[in-house]
Amino acid sequence: MRTILITGPGGAGRTTLAAATALAGARRGARTLVLSADRADTLGTALGTPTGPEPVQAEERLTAWRPDPAAGFREDLAALQDRAAGALDLLGAAPLDPAELTPLPGADELALLRALRDAVLSEAHDLVVVDLPPLDRALTLLGLPEELRRCLRRLLPPERQAARALRPVLGRLAGVPMPAEWLYEAAERWALELGAVEAVLADRDTHVQVVAEPTPAGADAVRTAALGLALRARRPARLVASRVLPESEAAPGSWLAGPVAQQRKVLEEWRCVHEVATAAHLGRDPQGTDDLAALGAALDDDTPPRASCVEWPVLDRLAEDGVLVWHIPLPGAARDQLDLMRRGDELVLGVGPFRRVVPLPSALRRCTVAGASLREEELRIRFAPDPGLWPTAR
């Protein structure tokens, strides 16, 4: 099964092209699901079929779905209140009626991730196309499961759960209440759910496609996307150049000549680095499945795009230089954008507006940082073995 995650700057046409990609897959014979988190039904407008909180059949072999963020939010709150009823009674707090609640910020994204996880685990589809939010929110969304799992581990470390039988005694000795059993059970359940989502996003059959117009603003957005994805060990599997103007009609001196020349330059730059597909400018907003089919013909075929996953190899330079070198590709990064700090067994890595806390590979945890450099769009961090932790030959 393939999963295609589609994002891009606002207004670049990502929802239309997600619908076109899904339609092309379905008409090729794949059982296809297209997901969107957009509260406005732009997906339904593109497909010509209203979509909502329940999956709808947009065409043979094509299902469209906009998950309802309120439903999952209310269910989670109801379960939390049931488990914490005793504590709420002690505090004199009145339980909230789920019907009166509105989803918190970020609930749309969480609902989309849950729907994606369920769709992949169900194995009911051959192709899942996800209309992600605009670029800045999409980059945050892709890192959300990992960040939430890390927060859970910090707040409720797994090793503390081993002392469950001693928790009442420890609470009396410490004079403070220890976390209740249901809290650890909830944390375990959340960690499992987040781990499943993280596995789907990191799978080699999950591809990220970035939609942008071939303009200077679009080129800036693509550079931002490449850098943000690189920090998550990903890269765009494909760029989709949207609203490409016809060069055949750009006669010298015409008003199209300037935009087409600019477009040609951007496309040449993109093709030097990325796999690029083009979606023609139709001269109007796409209307109906015929227009989507025309766009989708260039976007989906039997040849899968290159892998989105990127390796971060650790190279052994102990014999030559006495160090291990961790190679982290960061295309487009500048030296003055980098922020690097080791904290225990984690590396805090910042580049431009992006930041990630990365667990160190096991071999590097027994080393000290000996230096770092940025060369050929790659961060190379040198680690020297710690004599107190590194095994010695006998």
pLDDT digits (tens, 9 = 90+) for 69-81: 766 555 555 555 4
pTM recorded for the entire structure: 0.84
Pair type for strands 346-351 and 354-359? antiparallel
Rounded to whole angstroms, how far apart are CA atoms 257 and 246? 10
Query: Quick one: tokens of 363?
Result: 């071999």
pLDDT value at residue 179: 52
**Per-residue pLDDT for the chain (394 aa), expressed as one digit of tens each?**
889 999 999 989 999 999 999 999 999 999 999 999 888 889 999 998 999 889 999 999 999 999 887 665 555 555 554 554 544 444 444 555 555 555 555 677 788 888 999 999 888 999 999 999 999 999 988 998 888 888 877 766 765 555 554 455 444 444 444 455 656 666 677 778 888 888 888 888 899 999 999 999 999 999 999 999 999 999 999 999 999 988 877 667 777 888 889 999 999 999 999 999 999 888 888 878 888 988 887 675 556 667 788 999 999 999 999 999 999 999 989 999 899 999 999 999 999 899 999 999 999 999 999 999 999 999 999 999 998 877 765 5
pLDDT digits (tens, 9 = 90+) for 363-373: 999 999 999 99
318: left (phi > 0), else alpha (psi -120 to 50), else beta?
alpha
Taking each continuous run of H as one helix and of E as one strand, the counts in the chain are 12, 15
Q: Give the list of residues 6+ apart from residue 312 with CB closer than 8 angstroms, or none.
A: 233, 326, 327, 328, 329
DSSP symbol at 133: -
What the chain holds in terms of domains, given with CATH numbers, is 2-68+104-296 (3.40.50.300), 314-385 (2.60.40.790)
User: At residue 251, what is the residue type?
Assistant: A
For the residues of 297-321, what is the DSSP string, one character each? TTT--SSPPPP-B----EEEEHHHH
3-class secondary structure, 170: helix
Strands (E), the chain: 2-7, 32-36, 56-59, 62-65, 127-131, 206-212, 238-244, 276-280, 314-317, 323-329, 338-343, 346-351, 354-359, 367-375, 378-385
